[in-house]
Structure formats: C-alpha cells, structure tokens
Amino acid sequence: MFFDFFDSPKFDMAYHAKIRRIFAATMLAVTAIGPSPSIAIEHHRPTPGKTIDTLKKGLSSDMYMVRQDAMWRLIQAGTEAIPSLVEVVQQGDLEAIVRGLYALEQIGQSGQPNCERTVEAALQTLARSPRKLTANRSQTRLLAFRKQRRQQAIAALRGLGAEVSLREEAAVMVRFTEKYQGGDNGLIHLQQLPEMEKLYFEGSTVGNRGLVHLQNLPQLQQLFLGGSQVTGAGLEHLADLPQLEFLSLKGLPVSGKALLPLASLPRLAHLGLDETPINDAGLAHLEALPGLETLWLNQTQVTGSGLARLQKLPRLHKLVLTATAVQGPGLARLAPIASLRYLSLQDAPLEESAGAALAKLVQLETLGLDATPIGDATVRQLAPLTSLKVLWLQKTRITDDGLAALHGMPGLRRVYLGETSVTQPAIQALRARLPDCEVLE
C-alpha cells in the first residue's frame, strides 16, 4: 500500500533500504490516530524560486525525496499553502492525502495568527467531501486536531490558575477565581473549548476585553460574572451565546440601557441583577426579555412603583426582592403575572398594610417575609393565598394570635418561625391542625 512506490524504476535502488526505513517511521507518525508532534519548521526553509503550485505538484511526484521535500516546504509556507493542500487532499491519491493532512495539522500547530481556525475550517470542509477516501481520513484528523487543541487549552488555563472540570475529556466548566493570573488575554484559550457549559468569573480580574473570547462558545448555558471587573459596556460581547440560560451580574455596575444586548439571548431564563444599581426606570429594559423565569433584584434601588414593569414578563416564576425599598402597596402590581410562584421580600421595609397587597397574589406557592417588620395583622390578611405551600416568618413580629391565622391554610407544607415570639403551645396547635405541614423553629 504505502510501499508500492518503491517498485518504481525511477527510484534509486542504492538508497532503497535506508529510505524505506525512514519512510516507514515517517508514515507511522503521519497516520497515527493521536495528535502529531509539532515540527521545528525553522529547519525546513523554502528553496528560493519554488512556488506553492510547484510544491503542490511535488506531493504527487514519483520520487520519494521530492514528495518529502514538498511536504516540509508547504508546512513552512504556512497559511498561504492551505488552499493548495485542501486541493491535494480532495483530488490526490492516498499518500498525497496523508501528507496533505499532516501538513495541514502542522500548520495549525505553528502558532501563526488565526491559523488554528483556518486549518480547522479546512478540515471540516474536507470531512464533508463526497469522496469517501478524503472524507474518512479528514474526519479522523479533524477529531485528532480538535482533541489536541482542547488538551493544550486545558493545560494552559490550569497553568494560569483556572479550575477546569472535565466530562469525558471535554472541558465543561471553568472557574476563574482570585488565583487566576491570566487576565483578559488568557481567556483566548476558551475558544478551543466549544463544549463549555458553565463559566465562573466571580472574584476574578477579568474585564470587558476578556468577554470577547466567549463569542465562540455555542454550548455555554451558565455564566457568572459577579465580582469581576466587567461593566455594562462589556455586555455587548454576550450577544452571540445561543444556549445561555443563566446569567449572574451580581454587584456589577450595570443598569438601564447596558442591559439591551441581553435581548439577543433567545434562551435567557434566569437573570441575577442583585446588588446592581438598577432602579425602577431600569426595569423597563427587561421588557425585551419575555422569557425570563427567575429574577434576582436583591439590594437594588427598586421600589414598589417599578414592579408594574415586570408585568411584561409573562413567564416570571421566581422574584427575589430581598433588602429592596419595597414597602407593600406596590406589590399588588405583581398580581397580573399569573406564572409567579415564588416571592422573597426578606429584609424589606414592609408596612403592616402590605398584607392587603399580598392577598392579591393568589398564585403564590412560596412567600418569604423573614426579617421584615410585619406582624399578626399582615399574616391574617394572607388567608386568600390558598395555593401557598412555603412561608418564611423568621425574625418577624408575629405572635401566637397571628400564627392561629395559619390554621385556615391547609395547603401549607412548611413554615419557618425562628426568632419570633410564638410559644410552644401555639406551635403544637398549628402542627395538630396542619399535620402535613413541617413547622421549623
């Protein structure tokens, strides 16, 4: 197969044995399934006057040394030789295909600007060739090329202090913590990891320029940017993440119009804006995200007046308003959101009259009123919430009288009462009345 050419009368028989051994070793390396070692290209400088076209023809020469020399010099030519090598692999015999693919791989590993992507694109094209011989060989080399690039990228990221998690050899999660030393430029290695699903930048020094390298991660589903150096201007680099479902911007200086690029994320369902400067006016920009299901607005400047803007989010299921300025009456503006099931108002300055507004949210299943100043009067007004299953009342002013109001809510399955004034007899009475409800002190 590979050695038929030795029978050619044009071959110098004086070198038959020696060259046969050299070629056998070379072809073993070339046809190996695993990644090929990089070549010291500087040792094979092109012969003056030899054009790419001449070298391309040399790969099909009857003379072994001519073919060998042409292969090395095409590698030295770099990206300029890629179109000719693609043509050789498309049309050549088996040996020309093997040599052409080997040359493409080596060019891809040479470190020239953009050569990796160019070579991968060439291998993808060849792998789709209608010519079975070309397609099969190219597919094998494409997989090997990608595997090597992936391994190199993983090693580089770990060397920079990132934590990389694998699943079946594919990198699916990377954490960039305070130990990460690669800055924005180090994120270029992510482009070799298209299987990436989760990225954590919380507490890292990564900024806006680093997000440019996320544009080729088609499988990215979760992105945590809280505590990084990213600002609102950097969000435009997230526009091309088709599978992104979860985005945390916790504590970042983002608000208002800076959120507009998020409208191009078709699957975005969970958004964390906690501890950001977003206010009531800024909520208007969320109307472009009708697919939102979970929204964190903890410790923001949002008030009850701005909640009406959330009515444009028909799928909103969970809303966290912890430590906001929401006082109570404005909560009634959430009633039209039929999908809303979870509402946390922990540590909000709720007025006692908040119960009347909460009573209109009959769709709620989970309600957090912990660490708020509400008391018995508010709890009594919750009676219409017949779908309620979980209720947080820790650190509130509720007493035994208010707890008795829960006897008429048979749907409750869990109630939190830590650090309140309720007594054990009142707790035991609730447990007796609602045997399916877990009462936690």
In three-state form (DSSP H/G/I as H, E/B as E, the rest C), the secondary structure along the chain is CCCHHHHCCCCCHHHHHHHHHHHHHHHHHHCCCCCCCCCCHHHCCCCCCCCHHHHHHHCCCCCHHHHHHHHHHHHHHHHHHHHHHHHHHHHCCHHHHHHHHHHHHHHHCCCCCCHHHHHHHHHHHHHCCCCHHHHHHHHHHHHHHHHHHHHHHHHHHHHCCCEEEEECCEEEEEECCCCCCCCCHHHHHHHHCCCCCEEECCCCCCCHHHHHHHCCCCCCCEEECCCCCCCHHHHHHHCCCCCCCEEECCCCCCCHHHHHHHHHCCCCCEEECCCCCCCCHHHHHHHHCCCCCEEECCCCCCCHHHHHHHHHCCCCCEEECCCCCCCCHHHHHHCCCCCCCEEECCCCCCCCCHHHHHCCCCCCCEEECCCCCCCHHHHHCCCCCCCCCEEECCCCCCCHHHHHHHHHCCCCCEEECCCCCCCHHHHHHHHHHCCCCEEEC
pLDDT reported for residue 2 = 38
Is the Cβ–Cβ distance between 298 and 276 less than 8 Å? no
Q: Identify the weakest region by mean pLDDT among 1-5, 79-83, 255-259.
A: 1-5
CB atoms within 10 A of CB 28: 10
Give the mean model confidence (pLDDT) for residues 247-256: 95
213 located within any domain: yes
Q: Is 154 domain-assigned? A: no
Please tell me whether residues 381 and 304 are part of one structural domain. yes
As a whole-number percent, the residues of the chain with pLDDT over 90 amount to 81
pLDDT at 50 (0 to 100): 64
Domain boundary among 149, 174, 190: 149
Please give the tally of structural domains in the chain.
Answer: 2
Higher pLDDT, 42 or 334: 334
Looking at the fold, whether 142 and 203 belong to one and the same domain comes out as: no
pLDDT of res. 350: 97
Residue 319 sits in a domain whose CATH number is 3.80.10.10
Answer yes or no: is 317 within a domain.
Answer: yes
Same domain for 303 and 169: yes
Which residues lie below 8 Å from residue 75, measured CB to CB, with a gap of 6+?
A: 39, 41, 44, 81, 103, 106, 107, 110
369 pLDDT band, cuts 50/70/90, is: very high
User: Is residue 157 in some structural domain?
Assistant: no
Given its phi and psi angles, is residue 168 left (phi above 0), alpha (psi -120 to 50 degrees) or beta? Answer: left
Higher-pLDDT residue of 60 and 265 is: 265
pLDDT digits (tens, 9 = 90+) for 23-34: 444 444 444 434
**pLDDT tens-digit map of 117-137:** 899 999 999 999 999 999 999
136 neighbors 154 (Cβ within 8 angstroms) = no
For residues 261-286, give the mean pLDDT. Answer: 97
Reported as a single tens digit per residue, the pLDDT across 187-198 is 999 999 999 999
Of 93, 36, 103, 94, residue with least CA distance to 69: 103
Q: Two tokens at 148? A: 């090597």
Predicted local distance difference test score (pLDDT) of residue 414:
99
Q: Decide if pLDDT at 12 tops 70.
A: no
Please tell me whether residues 430 and 347 are part of one structural domain.
yes
pLDDT in tens, 375-384: 999 999 999 9
Question: What is the per-residue pLDDT for 110?
Answer: 86
Q: Are 282 and 310 in contact (CB under 8 A)?
A: no
Out of 105-109, 312-316, 393-397, 403-407, least confident range: 105-109
Spatial contact of 357 and 381, defined as CB atoms under 8 Å apart: no
Q: Do residues 93 and 221 share a domain? A: no
Residue 35 is predicted with a pLDDT of: 40
Range of the domain at 100: 4-149
**One domain for residues 276 and 140:** no
Q: Is residue 286 part of a domain?
A: yes
Same domain (yes/no): 321, 186 = yes
| Mean pLDDT, the chain, integer | 89
CA distance 10 to 243: 59
**Identity of the amino acid at 51:** T
- Structural contact between residues 71 and 96, judged by C-beta atoms closer than 8 angstroms: no
Does pLDDT of 203 surpass 60? yes
Q: Residue 30: what pLDDT? A: 41
- Residue identified by tokens 């975005």 is 268
Residue identified by tokens 């046809």 is 31
Report the pLDDT value the prediction gives residue 355, as an integer from 0 to 100.
95
| Among candidate residues 92, 120, 149, the one where a domain is terminated | 149
The Cα 312–Cα 351 span in angstroms is 26
Last residue of a domain, one of 149, 175, 196: 149
| Residues 307 and 416 both lie in one domain | yes
- Residue whose C-alpha is closest to residue 369's, from 311, 420, 408: 420
Assess contact for 263 and 292: CB atoms under 8 A.
no
Task: Say if residue 86 is in the same domain as residue 53.
Answer: yes
Residues 136 and 174 in one domain: no
Do 125 and 213 sit in the same domain of this protein?
no
Q: Regarding beta strands 163-167 and 170-175, do their DSSP bridges make them parallel or antiparallel, or are they unpaired? A: antiparallel
Token pair recorded at residue 361? 């949210």
Give the mean pLDDT of 103-112.
90
pLDDT number for residue 353? 87
* pTM (global) more than 0.85: no
Same domain, 291 and 425: yes
